[in-house]
């Protein structure tokens, strides 16, 4: 190991520490902070963000990166050193395009837009949030201009979350999904009564829900010795190191799905972080490579595992034992069917596997329209409802259940949403590959076990962290680029059987 690389690594560690400290501040904001603490928290986070930014974009850092890159240029492509340098060169080039003023302003606006959104949503008052949305759209437009793009502005933003992917690729993949998924969704809707989900809509003691969620998240492989389960309004996962990767969920007193599937979902994210290779510690490679790949891990655990027949055959008896009054007279099969009811709904995070992607396509299209100036923030509620009608056939009764439902537009994060749907597609493609390579994975899954699957994920995906771009990773792992084919095969088989199509 040579000197420039070591010097660089020391600086990378320092910046990484600051970024992870911000992560802790952000976790605390959601889990413990009293509402009035927000002003100071914005200041603290803005200061750390500026420090981290200024350290990273310094000329000195640029020179170090170039010198270290020169030193490691003969290293194998997949070595940690070469991978780190590729990441740093790309990230440095991007961050240098920003200005310190932009960084500070964006942190301030995001900090303030968030509580404004919480209030607007609670009071179903879009007007309260509109001025903030206008600022956020402007921040996104500025960001796209600063980053620069060849084909369309949205490319510049998407690349931040799904490095190397183009808006046109996403559009084309989504078009394919739409084409095949619309008829499937319609066929399912025509037989809506075939699946009854009243089982999950009953009163469930929240303390017991918590115990059950701890049980199943541990069962799928989430390591509580290196994790923590928190309670929040908007579930998320976050990690400060592979040895401290946290999950959160929420507890509805009369609906089981949010806690159970939220918990499984976030544990999928956190297991990805827990599985990054220890050698990547304290570097930006020690995390999931892209939001889309990250989402593939959460959707894998939430849906492919958590909404499988084998999973509930294994775990329903325990749930039944905890809730004998509610579930006593029912079978695991009935429960499996209940948690797979597919029907149009208003809330993205509670949507089933069939309709979820439509919620994303809607946001993807509206973001592009706002970014290009074709849609003014003031007109968002109407546009939202029109699209809901078009894609899902339903219209939310309030903006709180419509365009105010997500936190994402409180920050300049356009380009983030499509990665959710990409995650569904990656997940299916990975799973198909895993089973083709190791048929015992499917046998285990039929018994509700995930040991073989998890070790395949660790080996093929988790350990690499951010060494490869999502495009490189999916090619390495599955031998082909991302497509919707595996997902459509998975969904068609599963829902045809469920609904007797």
Residue 32 or 325: the one with the smaller Cβ distance to a second copy is 32
Q: Rounded CA gap, 339 and 198, in Å?
A: 10
Contact status: 243 vs a second copy (CB under 8 A): yes
Contact status: 231 vs a second copy (CB under 8 A): no
Number of residues that bind a second copy (CB under 8 A): 40
Question: What b-and-e string marks burial along 392-415, b requiring 16 or more CB atoms within 10 Å of the CB?
Answer: beeebeebbbbbbbbbebbbbbbb
CA distances in angstroms from 36 to 33, 125, 204, 343, 460, listed in the order given: 8, 21, 32, 40, 45
Q: Which of 102, 240, 252, 255 binds a second copy (CB under 8 A)?
A: 240
Q: Which of 39, 208, 330, 389 binds a second copy (CB under 8 A)?
A: 39
Minimal distance, residue 26 CB to a second copy, in Å? 10
37-45, 118-126, 157-165, 309-317 -> range binding a second copy (CB under 8 A): 37-45
Residue 71 or 244: the one with the smaller Cβ distance to a second copy is 244
Which 3 state secondary structure label does DSSP give 340?
Answer: coil
Which 3 state secondary structure label does DSSP give 328?
Answer: coil
Contact status: 35 vs a second copy (CB under 8 A): yes
237: left (phi over 0), alpha (psi -120 to 50) or beta: beta
Contact status: 105 vs a second copy (CB under 8 A): no
Contact status: 227 vs a second copy (CB under 8 A): yes
Minimal distance, residue 462 CB to a second copy, in Å? 17
Q: What is the dihedral of CA 89, 22, 267, 184, to 10 degrees?
A: -70
**H/E element holding 161?**
helix 153-161
Q: Which of 34, 324, 329, 479 binds a second copy (CB under 8 A)?
A: 34
Other C-beta atoms within 10 Å of 374: how many? Answer: 11
Q: At what angle do helices 126-147 and 100-122 cross, to 10 degrees?
A: 150
Which of the residues 71, 81, 266, 295 is marked catalytic? 266
Q: Which of 2, 3, 6, 28 binds a second copy (CB under 8 A)?
A: 28
DSSP state of 305: I
Q: Rounded CA gap, 220 and 218, in Å?
A: 6
250: left (phi over 0), alpha (psi -120 to 50) or beta: beta
Site string for a second copy, 273-312 (x = CB under 8 A): --------xx------------------------------
Residue 27 or 87: the one with the smaller Cβ distance to a second copy is 27
Q: Rounded CA gap, 245 and 209, in Å?
A: 21
Contact status: 54 vs a second copy (CB under 8 A): no
Q: Rounded CA gap, 494 and 248, in Å?
A: 29
Residue 206 or 331: the one with the smaller Cβ distance to a second copy is 206
Residue 280 or 339: the one with the smaller Cβ distance to a second copy is 280
Instruction: Calculate Rg over the CA atoms of the chain.
Output: 22
Minimal distance, residue 227 CB to a second copy, in Å? 6
Q: Rounded CA gap, 464 and 297, in Å?
A: 14
**246-275 residues near a second copy, rule: CB under 8 A:** 246
**Cβ contact 242:287 at 8 Å:** no
Contact status: 48 vs a second copy (CB under 8 A): yes
Minimal distance, residue 294 CB to a second copy, in Å? 20
Q: Rounded CA gap, 147 and 96, in Å?
A: 9
DSSP state of 231: E
Q: Which of 2, 3, 6, 40 binds a second copy (CB under 8 A)?
A: 40
225-233, 442-450, 456-464, 472-480 -> range binding a second copy (CB under 8 A): 225-233
Contact status: 122 vs a second copy (CB under 8 A): no
Contact status: 244 vs a second copy (CB under 8 A): yes
Q: Rounded CA gap, 356 and 350, in Å?
A: 8
Contact status: 333 vs a second copy (CB under 8 A): no
Strand-pairing partners, residue 249, are 231
Q: Which of 80, 238, 241, 424 binds a second copy (CB under 8 A)?
A: 241
Contact status: 191 vs a second copy (CB under 8 A): no
**2-21 residues near a second copy, rule: CB under 8 A:** 13-14, 17-18, 20-21
Task: Give the distance from CA 275 to its chain's centroid.
Answer: 17
**Cβ contact 188:499 at 8 Å:** yes
Strand-pairing partners, residue 246, are 238
Contact status: 224 vs a second copy (CB under 8 A): yes
Contact status: 146 vs a second copy (CB under 8 A): no
Examine the residue annotation and report whether 266 is marked as an active-site residue of this protein.
Answer: yes
Q: Known catalytic residues?
A: 266
Interface positions with a second copy (CB under 8 A)? 13-14, 17-18, 20-22, 24-25, 27-28, 31-37, 39-41, 43-44, 46-48, 51, 224-228, 230, 240-241, 243-244, 246, 281-282
């Amino acid at each position: 190991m040579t000197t420039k690389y070591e010097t660089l690594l020391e600086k990378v560690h320092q910046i990484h520490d600051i970024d992870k400290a911000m992560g802790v501040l952000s976790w605390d904001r959601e889990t413990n902070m009293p509402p009035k603490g927000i002003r100071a928290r914005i200041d603290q986070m803005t200061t750390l963000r500026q420090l981290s930014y200024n350290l990273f974009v310094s000329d000195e850092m640029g020179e170090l990166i170039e010198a270290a890159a020169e030193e490691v240029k003969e290293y194998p492509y997949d070595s940690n050193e070469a991978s780190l340098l590729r990441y740093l060169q790309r990230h440095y080039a991007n961050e240098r395009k920003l200005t310190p003023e932009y960084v500070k302003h964006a942190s301030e606006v995001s900090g303030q837009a968030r509580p404004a959104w919480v209030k607007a949503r609670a009071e179903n008052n879009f007007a309260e949030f509109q001025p903030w949305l206008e600022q956020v759209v402007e921040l996104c437009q500025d960001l796209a201009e600063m980053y620069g793009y060849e084909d369309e502005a949205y490319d510049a933003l998407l690349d931040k979350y799904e490095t190397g992917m183009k808006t046109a690729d996403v559009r084309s993949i989504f078009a394919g999904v739409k084409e095949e998924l619309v008829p499937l969704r319609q066929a399912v809707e025509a037989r809506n009564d075939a699946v009854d989900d009243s089982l999950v809509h009953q009163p469930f003691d929240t303390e017991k829900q918590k115990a059950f969620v701890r049980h199943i998240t541990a069962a799928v492989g989430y390591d509580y010795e290196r994790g923590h389960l928190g309670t929040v309004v908007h579930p998320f996962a976050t990690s400060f190191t592979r040895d401290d990767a946290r999950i959160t969920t929420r507890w509805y007193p009369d609906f089981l799905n949010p806690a159970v599937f939220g918990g499984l979902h976030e544990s999928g994210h956190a297991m990805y972080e827990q599985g990054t290779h220890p050698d990547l510690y304290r570097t930006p490679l020690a995390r999931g490579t892209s939001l889309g790949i990250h989402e593939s891990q959460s959707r894998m655990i939430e849906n492919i595992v958590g909404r499988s027949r084998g999973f509930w055959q294994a775990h329903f008896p325990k749930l039944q034992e905890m809730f004998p009054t509610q579930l006593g007279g029912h079978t695991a099969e009935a429960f499996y069917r209940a948690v797979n009811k597919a029907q149009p709904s208003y809330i993205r995070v509670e949507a089933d596997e069939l309709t979820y992607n439509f919620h994303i396509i809607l946001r993807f299209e509206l973001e592009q329209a706002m970014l290009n100036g074709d849609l003014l923030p003031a007109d968002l509620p109407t546009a939202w409802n029109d699209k809901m009608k078009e894609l899902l056939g339903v219209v939310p009764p309030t903006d709180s259940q419509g365009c105010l439902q997500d936190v994402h537009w409180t920050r300049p994060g356009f380009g983030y949403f499509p990665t959710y749907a990409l995650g569904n597609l990656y997940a299916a493609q990975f799973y198909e590959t895993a089973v083709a390579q190791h048929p015992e994975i499917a046998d285990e899954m039929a018994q509700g076990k995930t040991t073989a699957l998890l070790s395949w994920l660790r080996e093929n995906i988790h350990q690499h962290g951010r060494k490869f771009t999502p495009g490189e990773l999916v090619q390495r792992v599955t031998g082909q680029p991302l497509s919707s084919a595996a997902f459509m095969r998975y969904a068609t088989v599963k829902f045809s059987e469920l609904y007797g199509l």
